[in-house]
Structure 1
Amino acid sequence: MSKDNFLKGAAILSIAGFLVKILGAVYRIPLANMIGDTGIGYYQTAYPIYTLMFALSTAGIPVAIAKLVSEKNSIGDYRGAQRVFRISFIGLLIGGVLTSSFVFFGAKFIVGKLENTNAYYALIALAPALLFTPIMSAFRGYFQGRQDMTPTAISQVIEQIARVGIGLALVAVLLNLDKGLPMAAGGASFGASAGGFFGSLVIIYIYMKRRKKIRKQIRRSEKFEKEDTSKIIRNILIIAIPITIGASVVPLFGAIDVAIVMRRLQDIGYTQKEASGLYGQLTGMAQTLINFPQVFSVAIGASLVPAISTAFARKNFSEIKKTATSGIRVTLLIGLPAAMGLFILAEPIIKLLYFSNPLEVQESAGSILKVLSFSVIFLTLVQSLTAILQGMGKAFIPVRNLIIGALAKVVIVYVLTGIPGIGVKGAAISTIIAYVIASFLNLRAVRKYAKIRFNLMDIFLKPVLSVAIMSIVVAITYNIFEGFIGLKLATVVSIGFGGISYLFALLLTSTITSKDFELLPGGTKLSNKLKKIGLLRR
């Protein structure tokens, strides 16, 4: 595959991934306005179970398919590549049937153990998704192995559009028919199943359209000894298992909250409905806003892996230091202002976005967001540090560190959520501490393996100074404008002023450099223009 085609494929997947993440993050806002904190609590009780089951059944196998198919095709063994796909497809289909059946038949038992029985419809509606998404994953891995990224991108976008559109439409219909919040939450969950169905349909259609060309390739395949099925399965599992473990850690964080928070809130006197409402405020309202900055940190991580990997293969530690330092700094330049912005404007942002909820719900969700906002710094930092370690071939280290963070989270969330004065905020605090631990351990590993000594002024002090300037501007702007134009407009205006002041602070303090711009799409051209007008000094 040529470099141009590789970059084109990466760009296609990046654009599709960006659209999918934006749609996914935006989806929760109208949903929370439609079904409120209690309904979103039912929905969010089911969803972490689904994401964990999905990660366990599919996370690593598509990557393994892509790698093995690519290797077979590169030597002309098209028949062997097709055999890898066929065996993997059967494995994923079996996994899908098992996980789907487990959720479908075990839904009542699961929601009973989670002490949120009204989440039954939300969980059972996700069972078909666990059947369709593994099918889709098999085809995506196959096409990526053939270095054809377009089918994956198209199916991702169609899947998410169907999920959002059908999910919200079902919620509206069920509420209009007065079927109640548990059923409406089930409608929202069914969006994922509908998305999986349409995504599968699209990618299977693309495969059928290209089958003639694939068969032609297979007929002119070089002659190779037929691999044993057991050997192919072993090769798939060797690649898939470590990736699956890594991909399961973050969904595990959500599953921990589901398993503990509802129970502990009821232990300190909340009813099941009240506990579901508080859990919905945490995961369906506050956490939704925390997910937005990840769109950018994930993109940075995607850029870091190949850049670090290339430099590491050449043992070019000077380049590793420059790229890793730049990656960490850019991550902080995103995480710090996002965290401080959400902290300062926590309640106004909640009131702006979740306007249809009662005032006491908005105020409660705002106080939760104020605490949870600090997790943005460490969550985005973990993602970039993980990418750096993956680029150096140390993929298991960040997984191990996240597991350590998850174990700490279990203890902290159990203790703090059971304290009446803390309650659901204990879950937010436990998330922050878990990511602090993981980011600290990752940072120590990066220093060790990349042989880096970080410049405290460039990486930390200058970004903090720029964010401090932004924070002052945001606070002053909001306080001045609220009395004149109202809360909603004042929130939007203060965010705008904050963004402008932050950009100027970065340029004036020379916090951001041309190397940093290289990690962003089209960044090199933008940095050259800024240099010409004197706003970028290095």
Structure 2
Amino acid sequence: MSGKGHKGFQSGAFVLLLTTVVTKLIGALFKIPLAGDGCLSDIGFGYFSSAYDLFAPIYSLAMAGLPVAVSKTVADYAAKGRFNDVRQTLKHSRRLFSVAGIVGTAVFALLLIPFVKFTDITGKNIYAYIVLLPSFFFCCVMSSYRGYYEGLLNMLPTAFSELTEALCKLILGYFSALITVKLTGDAALGAAAAIFGITVGTAAAALYLKLYYIRKGDGFTENEIKAAPPPQNEKTAVSAIALLALPVALASLSTNIPPIADALTVKRQLSLYGGEALNTVKSMYSGAAGGISDRLLPTFLYGIKSKAYTLYNLVPAFTAVIAVGAVPAISACFAVKDDAGVNKNVNSALKLTALLSFPAGMGLTALGEDIMRLLYGNGASAAIGGALLKLFGVSALFSGLAIVLTG
């Protein structure tokens, strides 16, 4: 089991890491030009990022939170030959997560107007939030299928669903935003159009996973199913998934506290108490920010902050896939009390993480302003965003390891 589990982890982590490299490159091709002056600009990207910062924790749950709970359960049962329980895990998790998605979407819809009034003095972010709502449900649907196949050490469905989502985001999101801004001249509507591409991407990825399951199944033979013990009763199985999913979900959300806190507080605090600080910013960067009204300046600054955060977030995003690939292999070894296999897989995950996060973090700290200038030109983005990126680089040294350790 040790050799098999270790090999399964390495191949699974490689597939997901390769896919993440591709999808993050696609994401960069989406966000970098999207934030440019030819499309949304800093103000429009501020609107976009306010909505995306709420989407990111939900997506994190769909990628590395809820699926981990399912994959651990599935890997556990598969290692013990309980194949009926494996299939029941998919059935129960699909139902449980779908209900969670519906409830979550409904709650956010009810709180939407008060939330916008609290966080956005312009009130124009509501367009992007409305378009974002359905993605919550689709992300929850994806979680059950992704976790199921990851638990069986089959990372291809997750990989191809990520690619499907990323391509929809790039093609539909970017060009919808570009056309909307050109036709209306309204950056807030352009931000909503970009979010529309993301929502369609989550729907397309969920549909792909559903069709994959219908066509490919899980690979268990009829004889294996007949020879396996009968499944546990439904109440016990659902309770086990829920109890495992809750702490994993909270751990996943904890790594996304900064964007959630930013979405709730940054623009509001700048609007209410910025005063003299905002005037200082306008005087320091009069060429870039001098003509922007006080009502729009918080959104402008939020857009610049989000440009820097987008680059920083590449580091924990890459290390998260190592955790996703490691969990099934570690769980399978743990289920059969293979301590050597557990230690080997944990050490491999930590070594891979260190090789990624430390050089990347030091590079962001050393070259923050140069990177921002290369991507966005001179001006406020390079000066303000570059200083922020240097600080984010220090954080990246540790956030990459934190993702793997909590996973």
Which TM-score applies when normalising by structure 2?
0.80
Is structure 2 residue 338 aligned with structure 1 residue 338?
no
Is structure 2 residue 308 aligned with structure 1 residue 286?
yes
Taking the aligned partners of 1:329 and 1:68, their CA distance within structure 2 comes to 29
Equivalent residue, structure 1, for 2:396: 380
Q: Deviation per CA, 1:160-204: give whole Å up to 9, x if none.
A: 111121101211221232162111110111121111111112111
Equivalent residue, structure 1, for 2:376: 354
> Structure 1 residues 301, 138: CA separation in 2 closer, same or farther (over 3 Å shift)?
closer
Q: Does the Cα contact within 8 Å between 1:38 and 1:273 map onto a contact in 2?
A: yes
Q: Deviation per CA, 1:41-93: give whole Å up to 9, x if none.
A: 11111122222345568853321211222222333322221111111101110
> Structure 1 residues 61, 330: CA separation in 2 closer, same or farther (over 3 Å shift)?
closer
Task: Give the letter aligned to residue 56 of structure 2.
Answer: T
1:297, distance to aligned residue in structure 2 (A): 5.5
Task: Give the letter aligned to residue 41 of structure 1.
Answer: G
Taking the aligned partners of 1:322 and 1:78, their CA distance within structure 2 comes to 28
Of residues 223, 232, 249, the one that matches 1:244 is 249
Instruction: Compute the RMSD of aligned alpha carbons.
Output: 3.5
Taking the aligned partners of 1:223 and 1:302, their CA distance within structure 2 comes to 28
Of residues 148, 152, 157, the one that matches 2:154 is 148
1:6-85 equivalence runs, <5 A: 6-33=9-36, 34-55=39-60, 60-85=65-90
Task: Give the letter aligned to residue 84 of structure 1.
Answer: T
Q: Does the Cα contact within 8 Å between 1:66 and 1:146 map onto a contact in 2?
A: yes
- Structure 2 alignment gaps of length 5 or more: 279-293
Secondary structure of 1:207's partner? helix
1:328, distance to aligned residue in structure 2 (A): 5.2
Q: Does the Cα contact within 8 Å between 1:135 and 1:200 map onto a contact in 2?
A: yes
Equivalent residue, structure 2, for 1:230: 235
> Structure 1 residues 218, 110: CA separation in 2 closer, same or farther (over 3 Å shift)?
farther
Q: Deviation per CA, 1:230-273: give whole Å up to 9, x if none.
A: 32122213322222112112322112112221122112336331
> Structure 1 residues 82, 375: CA separation in 2 closer, same or farther (over 3 Å shift)?
same
Equivalent residue, structure 1, for 2:384: 368
Q: Does the Cα contact within 8 Å between 2:372 and 2:386 map onto a contact in 1?
A: no
- Structure 1 alignment gaps of length 5 or more: 356-361, 397-538
Of residues 115, 128, 132, the one that matches 1:122 is 128
Q: Does the Cα contact within 8 Å between 1:79 and 1:218 map onto a contact in 2?
A: no
Q: Does the Cα contact within 8 Å between 1:56 and 1:248 map onto a contact in 2?
A: yes
Taking the aligned partners of 2:139 and 2:379, their CA distance within structure 1 comes to 38
Taking the aligned partners of 1:199 and 1:92, their CA distance within structure 2 comes to 16
Of residues 180, 186, 211, the one that matches 2:186 is 180
Taking the aligned partners of 1:58 and 1:298, their CA distance within structure 2 comes to 9
Taking the aligned partners of 1:79 and 1:218, their CA distance within structure 2 comes to 9
Is structure 2 residue 275 aligned with structure 1 residue 272?
no
Equivalent residue, structure 2, for 1:499: none
Taking the aligned partners of 1:375 and 1:35, their CA distance within structure 2 comes to 25
> Structure 1 residues 353, 322: CA separation in 2 closer, same or farther (over 3 Å shift)?
closer
Q: Does the Cα contact within 8 Å between 2:322 and 2:349 map onto a contact in 1?
A: no
> Structure 1 residues 265, 177: CA separation in 2 closer, same or farther (over 3 Å shift)?
same
- Structure 1 segments of 4 or more deviating over 6 A? 299-307, 320-327
> Structure 1 residues 130, 331: CA separation in 2 closer, same or farther (over 3 Å shift)?
closer
Taking the aligned partners of 1:325 and 1:23, their CA distance within structure 2 comes to 26
Taking the aligned partners of 2:325 and 2:139, their CA distance within structure 1 comes to 27
Greater RCO (Cα-Cα under 8 Å, separation 6 or more): 2
Task: Give the letter aligned to residue 370 of structure 1.
Answer: G
Q: Does the Cα contact within 8 Å between 2:62 and 2:140 map onto a contact in 1?
A: yes
Q: Deviation per CA, 1:461-506: give whole Å up to 9, x if none.
A: xxxxxxxxxxxxxxxxxxxxxxxxxxxxxxxxxxxxxxxxxxxxxx
Equivalent residue, structure 2, for 1:201: 207
Equivalent residue, structure 2, for 1:256: 261
Which TM-score applies when normalising by structure 1?
0.62
> Structure 1 residues 250, 375: CA separation in 2 closer, same or farther (over 3 Å shift)?
farther
User: How many residues align structurally?
Assistant: 376
Taking the aligned partners of 2:63 and 2:113, their CA distance within structure 1 comes to 24
Taking the aligned partners of 1:316 and 1:290, their CA distance within structure 2 comes to 31
Q: Does the Cα contact within 8 Å between 1:40 and 1:280 map onto a contact in 2?
A: yes
Task: Give the letter aligned to residue 333 of structure 1.
Answer: P
Taking the aligned partners of 2:130 and 2:69, their CA distance within structure 1 comes to 30
Q: Does the Cα contact within 8 Å between 1:77 and 1:221 map onto a contact in 2?
A: no
1:300-449 equivalence runs, <5 A: 313=339, 331-343=357-369, 345=370, 349-355=371-377, 362-386=378-402, 390=405, 395=406
Taking the aligned partners of 2:376 and 2:348, their CA distance within structure 1 comes to 42
> Structure 1 residues 230, 304: CA separation in 2 closer, same or farther (over 3 Å shift)?
closer
Structure of greater Rg: 1
Task: Give the letter aligned to residue 172 of structure 1.
Answer: L
Q: Does the Cα contact within 8 Å between 1:96 and 1:130 map onto a contact in 2?
A: yes
Is structure 2 residue 163 aligned with structure 1 residue 164?
no
Taking the aligned partners of 2:348 and 2:56, their CA distance within structure 1 comes to 36
Task: Give the letter aligned to residue 372 of structure 1.
Answer: L
> Structure 1 residues 49, 302: CA separation in 2 closer, same or farther (over 3 Å shift)?
closer
